[in-house]
Amino acid sequence: MTIGLDDVVAAETGLSHVDGEAGRLIIAGHDLEELAGRLAYEDAVALLWRGLVPEASDPAGLLGQARARAYAHLAPLGPRLAGLTPVEGMRLLLASLLDAEEDHPSLVVGAAGVAAAMAVRGAQGLAPVAPDESSSHAADILRMMRDAPVAAEEARALDTYLVTVIDHGLNASTFTARVVASTQAGILSSVVAGLCALKGPLHGGAPGPVLDMLDAIGTLANAEPWLDDAMARGERLMGFGHRIYKVRDPRADVLKAAVGRLKGKSNRIAFAEAVEATALKVLGRRKPGRRLDTNVEFYTAILLDALGVPREGFTPLFAAGRTAGWVAHAIEQTRTGRIIRPQSRYVGAWPAEAA
């Protein structure tokens, strides 16, 4: 029995494949590098949903309409977001759609984009901004979050990010979504559950702490002693290590290249690169033979920071991108008609035998 399910195959999927030895990610039959930075998020959603969701044939129009429909439900909840973190706010907003019995795939993805933007604003005490149906999903999310115009290169960078995180095998949040879907609970419940699993720092909650780490390090001269001390205290270096990748996460390079295209938008990239190199050296020394390398969260932090997203908003944006994947997995799993129900090994006390 494997505790933590490391090598257990719990589902069959046609959505994505992670090759941890080769550092390769295949999404709907394409290498990540063929899609990210080349395809709008809407088109990546259509590709992922092909054969699963009939409405995927016109994703551009659908996500625009979906954002508008979702906003009509969600905008009245704006005042309830004050005092909540963006993840808490996004969870509240998405869960509130349950009452409206909205279980349409595109509506859920549209709602996730609106909810991410609203939750980031709400946490700052700012009122929600209405969507623009005619805009691309990425550009509209950024505009709704900022209430200011978005440059084409910024929209492209966010598109690259959303496509990069659209799906990733049976990661913890996707597994969670599939477990919920396997009970026939519905798409939206599966997505809300996925968000709850994503928020932890060992999964999608890591990119904010990556920036905290870079801030705490402060200067290049301090990088090696700081990282070494952190590891001596038994702390984990955020943005490094992965259950499946034993080499560099291919998403890290895609996002690093996207930050590079945002000329003049990040003053952190050179510093981040230097810290990354030092961290890999320290990890190799402190954990020899563990094959720890950079994961997606490291350059996620640099990219979203360069787009002006506050660090508490990183996880909601991750969730907004991943929602299309959770939806697709929920549909795939629901169709199997089989509940996911593993076993546990009992290590507690046994009742005293009757004499």
- Site residues (CB under 6 A) for ligand ACO? 202-204, 206, 231, 236-243, 287, 290, 292, 295-297
Locus of tokens 């909205």: 102
CB of 352 to ligand ACO, least distance (A): 37
Strand partners, 24: 19
Q: How far is residue 252's CA from residue 254's CA, in Å, rounded to a whole number?
A: 6
Q: How far is CA 137 from CA 44, 113, 158, in A?
A: 12, 7, 9
Judged by beta carbon, residue 73 or residue 286, the one nearer ligand ACO is: 286
Locus of tokens 């008609």: 337
Judged by beta carbon, residue 188 or residue 206, the one nearer ligand ACO is: 206
88 carries an active-site annotation: no
CB of 311 to ligand ACO, least distance (A): 14
CB of 75 to ligand ACO, least distance (A): 30
Judged by beta carbon, residue 24 or residue 203, the one nearer ligand ACO is: 203
Helix (H) or strand (E) holding 24: strand 24-27
DSSP helix/strand/coil, 283? helix
Nearest to 304 by CA among 258, 240, 239: 258
DSSP helix/strand/coil, 27? strand
Contact 145, 116 (CB under 8 A): yes
Burial letters 289-325, b for 16+ CB under 10 A, else e: eeebbbbbbbbbbbbbbbbebbbbbbbbbbbbbbbbb
Judged by beta carbon, residue 3 or residue 152, the one nearer ligand ACO is: 3
The C-alpha angle with vertex 13 and arms to 10 and 18, in degrees rounded to 5, equals 85
CB of 249 to ligand ACO, least distance (A): 7
Judged by beta carbon, residue 156 or residue 251, the one nearer ligand ACO is: 251
CB of 203 to ligand ACO, least distance (A): 4
242 carries an active-site annotation: yes
Strand partners, 26: 17, 31
Q: Which of 42, 102, 168, 242 is catalytic?
A: 242
Catalytic residue positions, numbered: 242, 297
